[in-house]
Structure 1
Amino acid sequence: MEMRKLGKTGPEVSAIGLGAMGMSGMYGPADRAESLATIGAALDAGINLIDTGDFYGMGHNEMLLGEALKGVSRDSYLLSVKFGAQRGPDGAFLGFDGRPAAVKTALAYSLQRLGADYIDIYRPARLDPNVPIEDSVGAIAELVKAGYVRHIGLSEVGAATIRKAAAVHPIVDLQIEYALISRGLEDEILGVTRELGIAITAYGVLSRGLISGHATSNTSAPGDFRAHSPRFEGENLQKNLALAEVLRAEAAKLGLTPAQAAIAWALAKGDDIVPLVGARRRDRLAEALGALDRPLTPDEVATLERAVPKDAAAGTRYPEAQMAMLDSERRSSVP
């Protein structure tokens, strides 16, 4: 397994990480046995970075990982955990809580569900508009000092927030959506993370399956949040599926599937980029790992970007209300 360093102060991680969100119902029902087998297959393949969130399935995802990792050497994998999203018993998202007391409470519950003594990378899932990022990161820094957390990460925040957080404690990575059709971080954020020595753990590399080569015009499975995503609605979906077909044709020329081409593109964008692959089946995991066997040249990267231009996607990556909450979508006035 190819390894990459997670920022200038972080650990060595596998070039591809496993994102476990889809194993807890976000894309409709998941097969528990297959999810557990997929986690095992990822570890066997040399993947050592596993990403979750305490709000995925309201704790279900962490408990699933706790079961899958029971008996596995703790030194053989790294847990990346997001916290802060508040959910009701009906599954509704109620907001975000980044207060120091909430940070520490969330960690306590995560450790219990995961059956772990510490979290490798702990991060707020979003910026709490009512709490300075310095306070949230300061609370995690206290947990680092106490030994409950090893490293601090961020998620979906903009350049100014990154600078404020890094002034409090070293940040090892920013988790943010990054794909051929989701490249907003290239405008400002990527320059700041590289200046500060912060890696990118890229989720949504396949745009929630949209450019995987497996997407269809039907995403209405019960509980599948994509049914409410602008890029999966009406005419937007048809336009985006057409883009996916363009990618399929270009990928075929490279001897790759569309998913492999999309992952290989992200891998080729820099050694500081670590794609998180949300495979919840062993066959999809195996397909994703195939991207490591076919590195792209700069010319091939440029060809893919011409075929699927930066702003070609129809629709925003989240519904309007969620987009308004993304600090990463705000342009900074701070140089």
Structure 2
Amino acid sequence: MQTRKLGYTDLHVSVVGLGAWAMGGSGWKFSWGAQDDEDSIRTIHRALELGVNWIDTAAVYGLGHSEEVVGCALKELGSRRRPIIATKCGRRWDETGTPYANLHPDSIRAEIDDSLRRLGVDVIDLYQMHWPQPEEMIEDAWGVMADGVKAGKIRYIGVCNYNVAQMKRLQPIHPIASLQPPYSMLVRGVEDELLGFCAANDIGVVCYSPMQKGILTDKFTREWVERLPKDDHRAQFDERFKEPQLSKNLELVEMLKPIAHRSGHTVAQLAIAWVLRRPEVTSAIVGARKPSQIEETVAAGDWNLSPEEIAQIEQLLAGR
């Protein structure tokens, strides 16, 4: 597995990182449906065996449960094989399991300690502000996160879902180690300004949803979408899984299959390799719920797309 240096830090992360959103299980608004904890732990261990060296989670995933599952997996590994751990703050939840934004300094201080406890670690390698909401409090929250670095509870701090103007407000307070934006063939806004800004300021870029929540995979069919559990947020809230976008996305996947299959790869691997084609991108975060899924996607970490393959994909995307 290739690795790339994360911004100005001394962390070298695998170009494929394991995302633990779905490992939070069901019972909250943005669930991916029911998930077996033992499957999650086996998936984490298998990912590490295959060369993945970092895991991305968040306090809000499963209302704390994702962090707990990651903590259980780490405990079984022992300290010698501990991967790089990234988690996030700024999203709390009410008694109904509905997340809400909270960047109050006291809340962030509590979140840091809660995440350390759930993960069972003494220090968090990368602590990220999940969303810039409420925007008027991002500097206050960032200052508390910087205090966490000084206190030895956090190694580096980063942001998710931020724009350039918002990052410029934080840089004078404490250097930003990383940005985590969405990036896929279907969501390309990061290319406009963010990638260039991050490269110029030595900020790592770790992209989420390179497979667009399962759309950019061989398994993506109309029947598969219809079988999604009712508590899977994709079936409830994501317009890309509904008409008219559904038919357009199905058509794109069919056109991507020959490009991927020609070299013995899958559409999922193609989608990840496409994100990694950009040198400004440090790593692509891929979700997995069972070992077989991560076994498929890690292969993208060693696939460098040819100029011809990139041009073919660009031609397909230009027609959308």
Mapped contact 2:105–2:140 kept (Cα < 8 A) = yes
* 2:317 equivalent to 1:308: yes
SS in 2 for 1:121: strand
CA distance in 2, matches of 1:302, 1:10: 34
CA distance in 1, matches of 2:227, 2:209: 16
* 2:264 equivalent to 1:259: no
SS in 2 for 1:17: strand
CA distance in 1, matches of 2:307, 2:54: 27
Deviation at 1:75, TM superposition (A): 6.4
Deviation at 1:130, TM superposition (A): 4.9
Deviations 1:263-298 (A, max 9, x none): 111111115331001011111111111113321123
* Structure 1 residue identity aligned to 2:289: R
Match of 1:333 in 2: none
Match of 1:166 in 2: 171
* 2:158 equivalent to 1:153: yes
Q: How does 1:184-199 map to 2 (within 5 A)?
A: 184-199=189-204
Match of 1:54 in 2: 59
Aligned pairs, number: 310
SS in 1 for 2:284: strand
* Structure 1 residue identity aligned to 2:88: K
* Structure 1 residue identity aligned to 2:275: A
SS in 2 for 1:245: helix
Deviation at 1:254, TM superposition (A): 3.2
Deviation at 1:36, TM superposition (A): 0.9
CA distance in 1, matches of 2:42, 2:184: 27
CA distance in 2, matches of 1:107, 1:74: 23
Q: How does 1:1-335 map to 2 (within 5 A)?
A: 1-25=1-25, 26-70=31-75, 71-73=77-79, 76-93=82-99, 95-217=100-222, 218=226, 220-227=228-235, 228-270=237-279, 272-309=281-318, 312=320
Mapped contact 2:196–2:280 kept (Cα < 8 A) = no
Q: TM-score, normalised by structure 1?
A: 0.88
SS in 2 for 1:169: coil
Mapped contact 2:259–2:309 kept (Cα < 8 A) = no
Of 125-134 and 195-204, the range deviating more from structure 2: 125-134
CA distance in 1, matches of 2:104, 2:115: 16
Of 218-227 and 60-69, the range deviating more from structure 2: 218-227
CA distance in 2, matches of 1:47, 1:143: 26
CA distance in 1, matches of 2:81, 2:292: 26
SS in 1 for 2:177: strand
CA distance in 1, matches of 2:128, 2:46: 26
Mapped contact 1:6–1:272 kept (Cα < 8 A) = no
Deviations 1:12-58 (A, max 9, x none): 11111000111123221112221110000011112111000101111
CA distance in 2, matches of 1:74, 1:267: 29
Deviation at 1:132, TM superposition (A): 3.4
Deviation at 1:80, TM superposition (A): 0.6
Deviations 1:53-78 (A, max 9, x none): 10111111011011111042266311
* Structure 1 residue identity aligned to 2:95: P
Mapped contact 1:246–1:308 kept (Cα < 8 A) = no
Which runs of no fewer than 5 residues in structure 2 stay unpaired? Answer: 26-30
SS in 1 for 2:220: coil
Deviation at 1:299, TM superposition (A): 3.2
From the superposition, tell whether residues 132 and 52 of structure 1 become closer, same or farther in structure 2 (CA, over 3 Å): same
Match of 2:28 in 1: none
Deviations 1:158-194 (A, max 9, x none): 0101111122111111011101111111111111111
Deviation at 1:133, TM superposition (A): 2.2
Mapped contact 1:29–1:222 kept (Cα < 8 A) = no
* Structure 2 residue identity aligned to 1:259: A
SS in 2 for 1:111: helix
* Structure 1 residue identity aligned to 2:84: L
CA distance in 1, matches of 2:183, 2:169: 22
Deviations 1:192-211 (A, max 9, x none): 11111111111100000011
Deviation at 1:219, TM superposition (A): 5.1
* Structure 2 residue identity aligned to 1:84: G
Among the aligned pairs, what percent are the same residue? 37
SS in 2 for 1:150: strand
